[in-house]
Structure 1
Amino acid sequence: MIVKGGSRSSVAFWSKHLLRTDENEAVTVLETALWKDDAPTSLHRSLEHFQDMAKLTERGKKGLYCAHIDPACGENMTEEDWHKTVDILEEQLGFTGQPRLIVKHTKNGRDHIHVIWQRARQREDKEKWFLISDSGNFKKHELAARAMERELGHSHIKGVFTGRDRDPKTNRPRDPRPVAALNHKEWQRVKRTGVDSKIAKTEIAALWKSHQNGRDFKSAMEGAGYGLVRGDRKDVYMVLDQSGEAYGLRQILRSTGARKKDIEARLKAYPTQSLETVSAVRARMQTRQPHSAQKHDMSPERQMRLTKAARAAQNERTVNERGGYER
């Protein structure tokens, strides 16, 4: 079982996301809070209420706690099973008795659920309200996931804190920490742009190694579909890909051992002040070409690599099937 979550504040985003039918084959509202009328209205009003209640607290910024529960591939879940998993996670996080919403999504033939709780709770003396703490939630998610697996008899998915083989003397894991091929931020980027940032960074680093002259390096990057630009907020070298995503050149070249002074020396013919900013180039790209055309204006070989990476990343459940843990 995979469990993820955190405190949030965007009512508009979650109202839309919970009921999206363009990315999900089916959407089922399993439980609503406060209102029992038409589902979209009920969900939105409940989320608004959750967030409004946070304003009664001293630090009322994030009034929602949004969690995602995803069983291992091949595990069948009844509605009763889903509610059991929510109750287990609720107890672990300290949200027992709090108003909540539960929505099930069917995506790529698999089911997962989203649960949103109201974080604001009134103190026992009923004089003040406070936000239930979300500290240490990562470990709590894993402890809840192991409890869900035991309760439902599901296959075990190895986690970071629990379920790993440990040395009895040091209590440290013997096996390496399981990680996903893509973290959530990288997966969202691939889903949005169709470009795998890891492939892009590897290509740029390879071009740096093979071109010792700054002019040759810049020309080679442009031939591969990248542009050398200046950061909007910091006076640093940035690289822009064909989808409009920007990467810091210094961060990309860390793997090659290149330091700031090495980059500045090789690119002395192109001082940052002479380069266009990221926002200026993006604005020109949007004027000249629609976003969909940008992704396909590249060599067939590179397009094949990027398309393959995007297709793999679009199925965000793949890492669960391999038994990894998505950070």
Structure 2
Amino acid sequence: MILKGNERGNARELANHLMRGTENEHIELHELRGFVSDDLHGAMQESAAIAKGTRCQKHLFSLSLSPPPNENVPVATFEAAIERIESELRLSGQPRAIVFHEKEGRRHAYAVWSRIDGQEMKAINMPFYKRTLNGIARDLYREHGWEMPRGFKDTRHRDPLSFTREEWQQAKRTRQDPRAIKQALQTCWQTSDSKSTFERVLRERGYFLARGDQRGFVAVDWRGEIYSLSRATGAKTKELKAGIGDPKELQSTETAKACIAERMTPKLKAWAKEAEEHAQKQNLAAQFQREQMVQGHRHARAQLKHQQEARWLEEERQRAARTPKGIRGLWGWVTGKNKKIRQENEAEIARTTERDRAKKHSEIQRQLSERRGLQRKIVAAREKQNAQMQELNREVAKYLTMSAHTSQYFNKSEIKTRERGFSKKERDHYSRKEYDI
């Protein structure tokens, strides 16, 4: 189970993120402990209000728990892991919230604690918590027999294509796969032996080398998006300088954007937009199936919840009817019969709670299995879409390069003069090729 935690503030933003339904297919507020409010937003506001009595800015500790993708992990396993984590991080007894998310056939959990000790009104110190979380994560993989990621066995084998949330949002904005972007930039760097070679292979994939404002070396794509080369390739700035040279000799990002914008003619922009929309349509059928499935799963869970609540109320009524009242109740208290009935009721409550929890877990696992089957189709469609987007990048880069090559020999007025003497068929041909302006 991968554990990622961080100290943070901005309780309202965290509550919005955890309860946002646009990115997650199912959201369940599993537990609120130590708060007056019965909803997450209210609980986070309580935590923020208490923190105002201290100087602590990062008054929350947020933790994500991600089990292996295809493992059926019961709620009790998540709860046991959370209990162990809060004990080792000295957060036992602190106000806590647990939220479950489901997306793309995967179920993971978030736990949030208040770091403020209400008695002493100061934040609980958690030194080296990342090291502690990594140790617990390794233990969980061993205890449950899960296949441990290579990066846990040896840090040198960590996934080079992992990406941050900012990189994911940037790729989502351009309708691309963040891993594909990183892989393309890494391939360009690894297959180059000089600055000229690196620039050439970058252009072939739709990227242009430039000087960043703070990051030194960046790549700018034809959409105007900027990518840090040190972050994407994994190479240090010293290595990039040795292979490329002084970043001061490169064009700035603003200059690169201006040059690209000048070469991106209306016809080329329209063609690129059309190609993007065509690639996006490849995934529409699978996405429609996903939406239909998610709605059906939500309806089934709502029905199960309603049935369990109705049965619980009926069973509560029956348990209450077992306890005698009046003189008989007094006599039962004297003889100890009431205590025996109370113990039987408590045992029955434990059994029915476990029964309902097992039924809910079984339904969730059935839905997850069904959703994973559909996810395989979505992944296949997404890979096809990514391949089309990469091909689009190369095609646009080719036309931009042609446009730059043409501008070395003709100015704009000369090109327009030449085009007037062409037939419509010839004009269309050259506007798609080297005379596109």
The TM-score, its normalising length taken from structure 2, stands at 0.50
- Mapped to 2, the partners of 1:29 and 1:22 lie a distance apart of 16
Contact 2:100 2:108 in 1 (8 A): yes
Letter in 2 for 1:29: L
Cα shift at 1:159: 7.2
Range that drifts further, 274-283 or 44-53: 274-283
What letter corresponds to residue 61 of structure 1 in structure 2?
Answer: Q
Q: How many residues align?
A: 273
CA shift for structure 1 position 240: 1.3
Structure 2 unaligned regions, length at least 5? 280-382, 392-437
What SS class does the counterpart of residue 22 from structure 2 fall into? coil
Q: Does 1:202 align with 2:186?
A: yes
What's 1:315 paired with?
none
* Aligned counterpart, 2:413: none
Q: What SS class does the counterpart of residue 144 from structure 2 fall into?
A: coil
Conserved 8 A contact 1:142-1:159: no
Report Cα offsets for 1:11-53 as digits up to 9, x if no partner: 243212211222222111111241444xxxx211212322343
Deviation of the 1:121 alpha carbon: 1.1
Tell which deviates more after alignment, 100-109 or 78-87. Answer: 78-87
Q: Which amino acid aligns with 1:93?
A: L
Q: Which residue of structure 2 lines up, in the alignment, with residue 277 of structure 1?
A: 254
Offset from partner CA, 1:161-211 (integer Å, 9 cap, x none): 98x6xxxxxxxxxx67552353352x7624640243432323432674377
- For each residue in 1:221-271, what CA deviation from the matched residue of structure 2 results, as whole angstroms up to 9, or x when unmatched? 44431123332347x44321346132247995959x966376347x99xx3
Equivalent residue for 2:105?
Answer: 109
Query: What is the correspondence of 1:65-104 to structure 2 with a 5 Å cutoff?
Result: 65-104=61-100
Structure 2 residue aligned with 1:54: 51
* Distance in 1 separating the partners of 2:390 and 2:141: 35
Contact 1:227-1:241 within 8 A present in 2 as well: yes
Counterpart position of 2:134 = 142
Task: Say whether 1:44 aligns with 2:41.
Answer: yes
Is the 2:220–2:256 contact (alpha carbons within 8 Å) kept by the matching residues of 1? no
Q: Which residue of 2 aligns with 1:131?
A: 123
SS at match of 2:94: coil
Residues 52 and 280 from structure 1, CA distance in 2 versus in 1: closer, same or farther, beyond 3 angstroms? farther
> Which of these two proteins has the greater Rg computed from alpha carbons?
2
Q: Are 1:182 and 2:161 an aligned pair?
A: yes
Task: Report if the CA contact (8 A) 1:67-1:114 is conserved.
Answer: yes
- Distance in 1 (CA, whole Å) between partners of 2:151 and 2:234 is 32
Contact kept in structure 1, 2:85 and 2:136, CA below 8 Å = yes
Moved more, 23-32 or 65-74: 65-74
1:240 maps onto 2:231 in alignment: no
Q: Distance in 2 between matches of 1:99 and 1:303?
A: 44
Q: Quick one: higher RCO (CA 8 Å, sep 6+), 1 or 2?
A: 1
Contact 1:229 1:277 in 2 (8 A): no
Distance in 1 (alpha carbons) for counterparts of 2:139 and 2:231: 44
* Distance verdict in 2 for CA 1:226–1:17, change over 3 Å: same
1:155 to 145, 164, 168: 145
- Three-state SS of the structure 2 residue aligned to 1:27 is strand
Counterpart of 2:134, as a letter, is E
Correspondence for 2:211: 230
CA distance in 1, matches of 2:234, 2:98: 44
Return the alpha-carbon distance in structure 1 between the equivalents of residues 167 and 158 of structure 2: 18
Aligned to 1:320: none
Q: Give the whole-Å Cα distance in 1 for the aligned partners of 2:245 and 2:72.
A: 57
Kindly tell me: are residues 259 and 106 of structure 1, through their superposed partners in 2, closer, same or farther at Cα, counting changes over 3 Å?
A: closer
Offset of 1:118 from its aligned partner? Answer: 0.2
Normalised to the residue count of structure 1, the TM-score between the two structures is 0.64
2:244 equivalent to 1:263? yes
Q: Residues 85-133 of structure 1: CA distance to partner in whole angstroms, max 9, x if unpaired?
A: 22111112111000011001122222111000001114xxx5x422222
Q: Is the 8 A contact 2:90 2:126 kept in 1?
A: no
CA gap of 1:259–1:293, structure 2 versus 1, over 3 A, is same
